Amino acid sequence: MSGIKHLSQGIIEDLARRVPGRRKTQREKQGLLVAPMLDVRSANLMDLAAWLARATGRVDMRYQWIERVAGQRSLV
């Protein structure tokens, strides 16, 4: 397991304890977004897309995923 995936799993587990009412998919999306942000120490979306632990091989597809997830009001 890569460092980013390991970190995101820890964040997801912590969110499950702290916000038990939130849907599992929302917690997973938040964990996947926060982990590279902590590692890269940047809010630049292209930097996050490059470090994102998702199965897509293209950075532009990861960038689109970040934009969609970040734009959801339910995650705020």
What ranges do the domains of the chain cover?
A: 3-75
Report pTM: 0.75
Tell me how far CA of residue 21 lies from CA of 9, 38, 57, 73, in angstroms. 18, 24, 32, 16
| pLDDT, tens digit (0-9, with 9 covering 90-100), for 8-53 | 999 999 999 999 998 999 899 888 888 888 888 888 888 888 887 7
Residue with tokens 């490059």: 50
Token pair of 8, please? 């995101």
What pLDDT does 49 receive?
A: 85
Report residue 65's pLDDT band, with 50, 70 and 90 as the boundaries: confident
